[in-house]
C-alpha cells in the first residue's frame, strides 16, 4: 500500500503557538511511519514552511517545494490551536483546494470557536450551562447587569483557548480590569456566572463511522480554576477514568455524544463540563484539542485501551471518509 503524504500543521501567530508546537510533535511522533510520510509544516508570520528544511509551501495548491521536488499532500492534519485553524479559516481554504483535512468543517469550527455562539446554539437542545453575557470592544458595558449574575464571575476571551486571558472575579472592583485583560486577546469577551462544582473533560472521536466517547477525566486544579498553569505546567491533578458513579459516567458520556452529533463534529473533539448537584453543565467544545504528551485526550485514549497511534489512525480515516461522503 502506498503511504499517504500527511502535512501536520502547527505553529500560528497567536497566543497558543507554543501549545500547538507540542501537539504537532506528539502527532508526528505517533503517526504510523509504515502508513504515512509525515511533514511538519509550521505557520509563522503568515508563511507555511517545513520544519527543519525551511522549504516553503506554495499557497496556490499547498504543495511543498524542496530540493527540486514537489511534494503534494494527501491529507492535512490540523494541529494549529486558535486562528486560523480552530476558527475554520483554513478549512475553507483546504475545501476550495479539494484537500482532505482532519476535524470539523468550516461552519462547525467557526461555531464552536465562538464560545457564546456555541452556547446560544446548544440552548435550543436543552444542554445545561451557566448564564453568560457577551461584551464587544468599543461598546458600552452595563457593569451592573453583569454583577446581577452574582459573584464570583468568570471573564474570558470569546474566541481563544488554553485559558489565556481568563480571570475569576470575586469583587466588583476586579470586574473591569478582568474584562480589560480579556480584551487583550480578543475583541469579544464572555462574562459567565460561576458554578461551584468539579470540572470534567470528555474526549470523543469517530471510528469506522461510529461515535466513540472516551473515558472521562476529572480535573483537580491546584489553583482556583483550570488555568494555563494547571493545563500545561502540571499544576493540576487529572484523574482518568474520573471518580464517577456508573450513572454519572453514562449521563456525561451520553451528553458528550449528543453535543458532538448536534454540532455536527467530525474527528477528535473534547467537551468540558462542571458537575453541580448531579448535572453536567457545558463549558465549551474544543475541536482541535491539545495533543501534547501531557494532554487530556492522550490520557483518555490510553484508558480506552488505544495507543495514540490507534487514535490518530481513527482521526485520519474519518477525515478521508468525510471526503468520500461529500
Task: List residues with catalytic annotation.
Answer: 16, 162, 232, 270, 272, 284, 286, 290
Rounded Cα distance between 137 and 95, Å, is 32
Partners of 4 in the β-ladder: 36
Phi and psi torsions of 287, nearest 5°? -95, -10
CA dihedral 242, 244, 245, 246 (to 10 degrees): -40
Is the preceding peptide bond at 159 cis, omega within 30 degrees of 0? no
Cβ proximity of 21 and 10 under 8 Å? yes
Longest alpha-carbon distance in the chain: 64
Which of 253-282 are b and which e, b meaning 16 or more Cβ less than 10 Å from the residue's Cβ? bebbbbbbeebebbbbbbbbbbbeeeebbb
Burial class (CB in 10 A: 0-12, 13-18, 19+), 326: exposed
Cell of 71: 511534494
Rounded Cα distance between 257 and 16, Å, is 27
Cβ proximity of 70 and 81 under 8 Å? no
Cβ proximity of 134 and 144 under 8 Å? no
Amino acid at each position: 500500500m502506498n503511504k499517504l503524504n500527511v502535512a501536520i500543521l502547527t505553529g500560528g501567530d497567536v497566543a497558543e503557538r507554543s501549545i500547538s508546537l507540542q501537539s504537532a510533535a506528539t502527532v508526528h511522533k505517533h503517526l504510523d511511519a509504515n502508513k504515512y510520510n509525515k511533514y511538519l509544516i509550521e505557520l509563522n508570520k503568515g508563511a507555511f514552511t517545513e520544519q527543519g528544511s525551511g522549504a516553503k509551501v506554495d499557497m496556490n495548491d499547498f504543495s511543498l517545494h524542496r530540493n527540486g521536488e514537489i511534494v503534494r499532500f494527501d491529507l492535512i492534519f490540523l494541529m494549529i490551536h486558535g486562528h486560523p485553524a480552530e476558527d475554520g479559516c483554513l478549512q475553507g481554504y483546504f475545501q476550495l483546494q479539494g484537500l482532505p483535512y482532519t476535524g470539523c468543517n468550516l461552519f462547525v469550527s467557526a461555531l464552536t470557536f465562538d464560545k457564546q455562539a456555541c452556547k446560544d446554539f446548544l440552548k435550543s437542545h436543552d444542554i445545561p450551562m451557566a448564564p453568560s453575557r457577551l461584551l464587544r470592544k468599543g461598546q458600552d458595558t452595563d457593569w451592573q447587569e453583569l454583577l446581577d449574575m452574582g459573584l464570583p464571575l468568570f471573564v474570558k476571551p470569546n474566541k481563544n483557548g488554553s485559558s489565556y486571558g481568563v480571570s475569576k472575579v470575586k469583587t466588583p472592583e476586579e470586574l473591569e480590569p478582568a474584562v480589560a485583560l480579556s480584551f487583550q486577546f480578543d475583541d469579544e469577551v464572555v462574562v459567565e456566572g460561576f458554578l461551584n462544582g468539579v470540572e470534567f473533560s470528555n474526549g470523543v472521536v469517530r471510528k469506522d463511522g461510529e461515535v466513540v466517547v472516551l473515558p472521562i477525566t476529572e480535573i483537580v486544579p491546584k489553583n482556583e480554576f483550570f488555568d494555563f498553569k494547571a493545563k500545561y505546567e502540571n499544576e493540576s491533578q487529572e484523574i482518568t477514568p474520573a471518580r464517577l458513579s456508573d450513572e454519572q459516567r453514562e449521563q456525561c458520556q451520553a451528553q458528550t455524544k449528543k453535543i458532538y452529533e448536534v454540532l455536527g463534529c467530525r474527528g477528535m473533539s473534547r467537551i468540558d463540563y462542571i458537575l453541580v448537584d448531579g448535572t453536567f453543565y457545558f463549558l465549551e467544545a474544543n475541536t482541535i484539542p491539545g495533543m501534547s504528551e501531557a494532554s487530556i485526550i492522550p490520557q483518555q485514549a490510553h484508558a480506552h485501551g488505544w495507543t495514540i497511534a490507534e487514535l490518530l489512525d481513527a482521526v485520519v480515516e474519518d477525515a478521508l471518509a468525510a471526503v468520500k461522503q461529500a
